[in-house]
């Protein structure tokens, strides 16, 4: 009997340790990628990433990439309900989130930006 009680106690300790590890694993990195949003007036997009809601972040995140005049690449977090964010996300939805067609959205957005900035 003493041996089975000891085995039972060890099993309970093991199960508790596994539960603690799972609990901590769910909360590690539980932050959104975008902590703040950019509001550039003129932007020339080279790429974008859309991150759907997940356990650590309760909102859609949109990260745009652009090349600065000094040839450095910068990633900007855009608000998904802002003017730029809505345009990109609407296009993303219209191409059914196909990564191979991403350039259609980039070209469409950059073309609209160039036309509005020349006026």
In terms of pLDDT, which residue wins out, 14 or 28?
A: 14
Quote the domain boundaries for residue 75: 47-116
Within a 10 A sphere around the Cβ of 88, how many other Cβ atoms? 23
Q: Is residue 17 part of a domain?
A: no
Q: Is residue 51 part of a domain?
A: yes
Q: Is the pLDDT of residue 26 over 60?
A: no
**Residues in a beta bridge with 37:** none
Q: Is residue 75 part of a domain?
A: yes
Stretch (H or E) spanning 103: helix 102-118
**Sheet-wide strand order for 73-78:** 45-51, 61-67, 73-78
Q: What backbone phi and psi angles, to 5 degrees, belong to 63?
A: -120, 120
The tens digit of pLDDT for each residue in 62-97 reads: 999 998 889 899 999 999 999 889 999 999 999 999
| Per-residue confidence (pLDDT) for residue 118, from 0 to 100 | 44
Q: Which of 20-34, 49-63, 70-84, 86-100 has the lowest mean pLDDT?
A: 20-34
Domain count of the fold of the chain: 1
Q: Which of 41-45, 70-74, 92-96, 114-118 has the lowest mean pLDDT?
A: 114-118
Tokens matching residue 69: 């005049």
């Amino acid at each position: 009997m003493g041996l089975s009680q000891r085995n039972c106690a060890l099993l309970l300790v093991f199960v508790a340790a596994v539960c603690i590890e799972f609990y901590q694993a769910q909360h590690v990195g539980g932050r959104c990628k975008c902590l703040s949003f950019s509001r550039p007036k003129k932007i020339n997009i080279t790429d974008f990433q859309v991150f759907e809601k997940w356990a650590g972040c309760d909102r859609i995140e949109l990260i745009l990439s652009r090349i600065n005049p000094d040839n450095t690449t910068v990633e900007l977090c855009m608000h998904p309900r802002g003017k730029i964010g809505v345009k990109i996300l609407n296009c993303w939805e219209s191409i059914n989130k196909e990564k191979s067609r991403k350039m259609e959205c980039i070209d469409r957005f950059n073309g609209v930006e160039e036309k509005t900035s020349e006026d």
